[in-house]
Amino acid sequence: MAASKHLTDYFQVITGQHRDPYAVLGMHARVQAGVKIVSVRVFRPDANEVNLVRLDTQEIWPMDLIHESGFFELIVPHASEVFEYELEIVTQALGRTRIRDPYSFLPVITDFDRHLFLEGTNYRCYEKFGARIMRVQGVEGTCFSVWAPHARRVSVVGDFNDWDGSVHSMRVLGSSGIWEIFIPGVGKDALYKYEIKTHDNYLVHKADPFGLYMQLPPETASRVWDLSGFEWSDDEWIKNRSQKSDLNRPMNVYEVHLGSWARDENNEILNYRELAHRLVAYAKEMGYTHLELLPVCEHPFYGSWGYQVIGYFAPSSRYGNPQDFMYFVNHCHENNISVILDWVPAHFPKDIHGLMRFDGTALYEHLDPRQGEHRDWGTLIFNYGRNEVVNFLISNLVYWCDLYHIDGFRIDAVASMLYLDYSRKEGEWIPNQFGGRENLEAIEFIRKANDVIHEMFPGVLTIAEESTSWPMVCKPTHLGGLGFDLKWNMGWMHDMLSFMSMDPIARKYHVNKVTFGLFYAFSENFMLVLSHDEVVHGKSSLLNKMPGDLWQKFANLRLFYGYMMAHPGKKLLFMGGEIGQQIEWNHDRELDWHLLDYPLHKGLNLYLKDLYKLYQDSSCLWEIDFEHHGFEWIDFSDAERTVVSFVRKTKNPWESLIFVFNFTPVPRRNYRVGMPWNGRYAEVMNSDSSYYSGSNLGNSGEIYSEDVWCQNQPYSAVLTLPPLGMLVLRPLDVPKTITVEGSSKPLRVYTMPEGIPMPEPKKAEAKVKIKGIAKKKKSLKSPVE
């Protein structure tokens, strides 16, 4: 009976069906015929000869080939206890080599690790899974661990075993579905995959879901890597981040695709370190506070822009190794720039070496395509009801914060996660347990992910790309919200793009598109975005969405950017928008930086620099972004002339700014605008300045209000509004107490703290050309330099 059992075990090892090869292979002490013996078994199909070497005595015994497939066995002479040993293996490819037997080591993953993973709470499981270089029992090597519960057999194949799946079969740890093996001598830079024999005996080679680094696409192997050794210098940054919130600070985000922002003279992609210096210097010069990177997780198809991820734990090798990306993040922090990653938990691609049918079954995805497939995108949907999948995704967020010091995540395609019927016709989706369309498992995952990140890494932001009216996206989970910090304002973006693309003569019929966003502006913590999605697939560049001749296009775009920066909410602009890119974004080439040699493009770029400087220096534009008392309309009723005006306010009135927008190409002279205070106002910015290649029509840098009621304001001023222009006014003469008495005007009282000086406008000289006559006047360009 025992012999029969041994033969069965041998056969299962030889045929690759044994789920615990450690029970057969390696050294074992057992009792045979009443005598305690020690036996060693080795399965090496590539070996011509195998010898056993006892390390303490250096005795060598040849092992017997007991099966022609490469199964060797030895009953060690005169041994009754196990001992340390090596194998001397002779192969045709490598000749004679000595190795430590992989089947002589105990498991590395503990029962507690398995328990936490299976219940979905092992948030640092990247420390246990994947390929980890370590020392076990005094021996250097790499431990490989992978979850594949329905596999018949899992092996590690790589350039260290000639990609032979019979050499390093893994053991499954109990009923967990976790497979593990420690392979001595395998170190940094080794290439590997998992060879998985499915339940129907089909062999597949899979990249490591927890792999830290991958081959340069189109190659698909994972690469053993050591993440230690990089010296971070951002301790103070991390400390400050945990003590402050970005929600009441300036947040001006530059959205970037690393592969096409800039390239070398041969159109080759720059690496992380090159990008660190060039991109960070540029972002700092422009006045961006955050960089948002299109997904850097490894993706096989470059044209997916990173949104079809294979290696969730691997920064793309297109730009360098993991330490290079650490350098990039660290350099950003050294220059006071936050790094936000685009993160894609909504779906993954069908590449055969990826997560799809990982162990031959629908492991990471749903089996039913009505739940598990995005037909529009040709991708698969994560099964958020499976604890192990949730653990995989949340630990990925923790990993990027823990080991790469990432400051935030923009979560892609949240709407597709929330709704079971997203982009599906009737009959193409399955209702939830209550008959509704809400994806209850995805909602629970989102809440859990937000809670974990905010608890473990205070100050790290989560931002939802959510395009529907789902309520309470930015409310805490304990109040029933989803727990995000910010939400992309897709409604504002679509309304404003629609409005700005109209011929100005028709805009007076659609002023509601400009004003409607304020009806819901404070229902969530909104970020105003002009993202990559708006400049691809035939939608044209932002500049070419604008109507009119070339001058009017630039004037419209400056006006649009001005309205965006003045409107409540954090800001995001995709790369190229700041230089007036003429063509759509093309991921296969760099931006058209040569455009800055042309005055209109250079003027736009200078305008945004000044606009961003004004934004950062003006607390009224970011301190109270998400409450109604930080904003007050002056007038939005003049649809006929398409002029709107409002005040951005903060706790102290002298820090307020007044914005006036003329959305037509017609100059408006002697246009009366209501003012909240009497006295002088500095014209601190004019989008029509000649400095920005505008027509230079304005108000000579300073205006005076009058005691004339207008637009529900106690005072007013007569202005010259430039065509397709924005004016920004700052009050200069706000008294300590303003009281309006003895009239029908409402009482307004503002108290200002003692000892705080009034801001004075900066003045400069510039030539102003009006109707062909050059005159000397106070500059119309922005003083914020």
The pairing of strands 71-75 and 64-67 is antiparallel
SS3 of residue 344 by DSSP:
coil
End-to-end CA, the chain:
89
Residue 618: CB partners within 8 Å, gap ≥ 6? 648, 655, 657
User: Is the separation of the CB atoms in 734 and 714 below 8 Å?
Assistant: no
Residue 507: CB partners within 8 Å, gap ≥ 6? 499, 642, 663, 664
Radius of gyration, CA atoms only, the chain:
33
The pairing of strands 486-488 and 526-530 is parallel
For residue 399, which phi and psi values (nearest 5 degrees)? -60, -50
Sign, CA dihedral 241-246-248-249, equals positive
Residue type, 503: D
The residues assigned a catalytic role are 412, 465
DSSP state of 706: B
How many Cβ atoms sit within 10 Å of the Cβ of residue 92?
A: 8
Please give the C-alpha separations between residue 216 and each of 327, 382, 678, in angstroms, as whole numbers.
Answer: 19, 25, 65
How far is residue 341's CA from residue 343's CA, in Å, rounded to a whole number?
Answer: 6
For residue 567, which phi and psi values (nearest 5 degrees)? -70, 145
User: Is the separation of the CB atoms in 546 and 561 below 8 Å?
Assistant: no
Exposed/middle/buried for residue 236 (C-beta within 10 Å: 0-12, 13-18, 19+): exposed
DSSP state of 759: P
How far is residue 193's CA from residue 430's CA, in Å, rounded to a whole number?
Answer: 35
| β-sheet bridge partners, residue 40 | 27, 74
Q: Which tokens in the block code for residue 633?
A: 């309309």
Residue reference for tokens 């408006």: 668
* Nearest alpha-carbon partner for 565 in 654, 636, 646: 646
Cα angle vertex 717, ends 555, 612, to 5°?
40
Q: Half-sphere exposure of 730 toward its Cβ, with a 13 Å CA cutoff?
A: 25
DSSP characters over 593-655: GGGGGSHHHHHHHHHHHHHHHHHHH-GGGTTTSSSGGGEEEEEEEETTTTEEEEEE--SSGGG
How far is residue 286's CA from residue 289's CA, in Å, rounded to a whole number?
Answer: 9
Residue 49: CB partners within 8 Å, gap ≥ 6? 62, 89, 90
E strand map for 296-435? 297-298, 311-315, 338-343, 373-374, 379-380, 408-411
Cα angle vertex 582, ends 576, 587, to 5°?
55
Cα angle vertex 398, ends 378, 342, to 5°?
40
* Nearest alpha-carbon partner for 125 in 366, 323, 402, 442: 402
User: Is the separation of the CB atoms in 340 and 461 below 8 Å?
Assistant: yes
SS3 of residue 323 by DSSP:
helix
* Nearest alpha-carbon partner for 406 in 462, 487, 447: 462
Q: Which tokens in the block code for residue 398?
A: 């923790």
3-class secondary structure per residue, 487-525: EECHHHHHHHHHHHCCCHHHHCCCCHHHHCHHHHCCCCC
